A = this chain, B = another copy of it.
Amino acid sequence: MLMKDGMNSRLLLDCAKSCILASSPVFRRQQFLIRCVGGSIDHQPHSRNMQALRSIEVDSESLIRAITPALDPTRHKGQAGNIAVIGGCREYTGAPYFAAISALKIGADLSHVFCTKDAAPVIKSYSPELIVHPILEESYSVGDENKRSVSSKVLAEVDKWMERFDCLVIGPGLGRDPFLLDCVSEIMRHARQSNIPIVIDGDGLFLVTNNLDLVSGYPLAVLTPNVNEYKRLVQKVLSSEVDNVDAPQELLSLAKQIGGVTILRKGNSDLISDGDTVKSVSIYGSPRRCGGQGDILSGSVAVFLSWARQHILTADSNSNLSCKNPTVLGCIAGSAILRKAASLAFLNKNRSTVTGDIIECLGKSLEGISPAS
């Protein structure tokens, strides 16, 4: 009897503990971790999926060799690429730097950042190699009565440069300030009018997922979602949950549904589709998941996309590329180069690898695939 009472007491105690735990941060954290693991398990490729992936795996090294321009001494500054990153606010400064410096290390000639006034001195101080324009504004620094004039000024500043850019990267460290995002929406519309490719990542994907008309039907738009960003995109566009059994087919439908934009779904294998074709990149890679690798990817895709476009536009281009869409080619090349650089950095730095270490391996990675001379 005593024993029974003792058991009852323990049950009551456990129950009470659970009740306390349910509302505690520890419990919420555990639940978050379980959800994350669940997400990860969802992404373990099924054997059918594995087979499908193998069939769409692309020879990314040959592709990189085909689109990387020869280094010709008669060319002048800007011809190997002039990239602009729209991002960087009071809160985030690392992400736009990673994207912009990666573009230079891949081989672009010029790399700009358009960010808020607070972010500019910090991003400038990371590297004198970047051209940093302190022109964006967040709500806290603009009264309602000035919003229209400030917005016009921001647009005019970006427009001065627009025609010179080969590609915009929109989103790294952009933040979610409503006024700033409104300005960036206008920048995207102007870029689209000028037929300038745009690579959208991070907070840019938040903006686009809630305003699909910004990119819908624009074949020069690239979205580079990670697991969570992809989930939100699928929910919004396909009104369903992510289907990991037939991931390539789902990505194809998603890209088609947004009018033929190109989507690079980041994952254990990177999947790329423009609604017409699906490709996979699974080579190399690193188990290290330090923040910032997505920014390297967006900057790299921007450069390769520009090169692929130039390659395709060139009259004497007689390459045997199976795909002629420069956005898809840019994604494949960007994905492969990041994976190779990450694997090289990991060989050297192991668990302590950070994003800067990977950026330092971009040059060597490209050189290994497509020697400059």
Q: Is B285 in contact with A73, judged by CB distance below 8 angstroms?
A: yes
A interface with B by C-beta (< 8 Å): 25-26, 28-29, 32-33, 36-37, 39-40, 43-44, 68, 71-80, 90-94, 97-98, 104-107, 109-110, 118, 121-122, 124-134, 163-164, 193-196, 226-227, 268, 285, 287-293, 310, 313, 346, 349-356, 362-364, 366-367, 371-373
Q: Is A76 in contact with B128, judged by CB distance below 8 angstroms?
A: no
Q: Is B109 in contact with A291, judged by CB distance below 8 angstroms?
A: yes
Count this chain's copies in the assembly: 2
A and B contact pairs by CB, cutoff 8 A, 18 listed: A29-B196, A32-B163, A32-B164, A36-B79, A37-B79, A73-B287, A75-B287, A77-B290, A78-B289, A90-B134, A92-B131, A126-B128, A127-B356, A349-B363, A350-B372, A351-B367, A352-B366, A352-B367
- Alpha-carbon distance A364/B353, docked complex (angstroms): 11
List of B residues within 8 angstroms of A350 by Cβ: 363, 366-367, 371-373
List of B residues within 8 angstroms of A92 by Cβ: 131
Q: Is A131 in contact with B91, judged by CB distance below 8 angstroms?
A: yes
Q: Most chain-B Cβ atoms within 10 A of its Cβ — which of A37, A43, A74, A97?
A: A74
Measured CB to CB, the nearest residue on chain B to A351 is B107
Q: Is B107 in contact with A352, judged by CB distance below 8 angstroms?
A: yes
Measured CB to CB, the nearest residue on chain B to A290 is B109
Q: Is A128 in contact with B94, judged by CB distance below 8 angstroms?
A: yes
Q: Is A79 in contact with B226, judged by CB distance below 8 angstroms?
A: no
